[in-house]
Amino acid sequence: MLFHEQAQAVEGGPPREAAASCRPKLSILSLYPELLNVYGDRGNVLSLVQRARWHGIEPAVTEAGLGTDVDAGQFDLVVLGGGQDRAQRAIAEDLRRYKGPSLAAAIEEGLPVLAVCAAYQLMGHFYRTADGYEIPGLGIFAVWTEAGKGRLIGDIAVQAELPGRRLTLVGFENHGGRTHLGPGARPLGRVLRGHGNNGTDRTEGVVYRSAIGTYLHGSLLPKNPELADWLLQAALDRRYGGSVRLGRLDDRIEARARSVLLRRLLGPPFLRLS
């Protein structure tokens, strides 16, 4: 990952050395980190924490696993990663019993959420496995998923459309499920190279209010710092009502790394998309 050794210069943001007690605070809930952490998805939490600190914000992370009853609405941002099918069954039941109702209610009120791969599937209506077993989801996203023949694997580039932002995202996907968007579902973006939701309709992920479902591992956020800042800003807006704005960090190292991957995937003519 591309963590900087030292604090970067901030333009227009809060003073980096401000006293901790004066800093805006941000609480991050990491759900099932022991089960949902394939392809380094934990790096998304690390990226949010580090970038929050660079922006002069004081982050705090709470981890919650199976059997823990937490109120997602008490947090500013929620992160879930990808995992195996057998983990999904246990997590689906746990979500239904403990965490799902508060998570759904908070998303309706604007809680930003990043759900990757297995978590993305569980926030849809259902995931039907290869043996026909249907794992019920929370139904927050108007999508459903079915196991397909073979896996969709490889690096991926996506032209993403978020409220107020247009981004070119890069990541890595490896999933057997084919996710289909239902009526009214808004994709995270259009696949430029790779497979996306199902390998056929060129869509990738879904966006509902400030919640994002996606198949992009990577880890996603260290590779796409603008997306990390979009999530942080959404969290700050919800907590502080728009009174705290992020500054601009020096992301030249991250931009160079992303450009290398985009050139490999799309060729030089497409770099203008970034």
Positions annotated as catalytic residues are 117, 217
The closest of 135, 62, 72, 68 to 104, measured between CA atoms, is 72
Q: Which helix (H) or strand (E) holds 153?
A: strand 143-162
Tokens of 245: 């704005």
Q: How far is residue 162's CA from residue 209's CA, in Å, rounded to a whole number?
A: 10
Tokens of 273: 């998309």
Strand 25-31, strand 77-80: pairing? parallel
Angle between helices 225-240 and 42-54 (to 10 degrees): 70
DSSP secondary structure code for residue 182 in this structure: -
- Cβ contacts of 267 within 8 Å, gap of 6 or more: none
The closest of 21, 16, 15 to 6, measured between CA atoms, is 16
Strand 77-80, strand 203-204: pairing? unpaired
The closest of 221, 222, 223, 240 to 231, measured between CA atoms, is 221
Residues 239, 246 contacting (CB under 8 angstroms): no
Q: How far is residue 138's CA from residue 95's CA, in Å, rounded to a whole number?
A: 8
